[in-house]
Structure 1
Amino acid sequence: MLKRLHIFVNYVILHIPLYRLVGTYYIFRRCISALFSRPPKP
């Protein structure tokens, strides 16, 4: 089971373009920072 999971993780890392992962992380960080910097409405 653990070995299959490791193979699956390697497959995902090798086959998903790195720029897509970086782009997703960047968008996620922007959304989080926007949520925290915006003052809460009453």
Structure 2
Amino acid sequence: KASTMQPGILLPDELTKKTALAVLPVLIISLIFRKQDYTILNP
């Protein structure tokens, strides 16, 4: 898609998708644990 703009540097969509799928669940789990910690500390 962006090969015309940057012919030398190609950003593979698969790699970005893999990184997103790897990072998003971690962020969601961390947010859930933070919410649980806050609820336990402040019932």
TM, length-normalised to structure 2: 0.48
- In terms of Rg, which structure is larger? 2
TM, length-normalised to structure 1: 0.49
Point out which structure has higher relative CO (alpha carbons under 8 A, 6+ apart): 2
More helix by share: 1
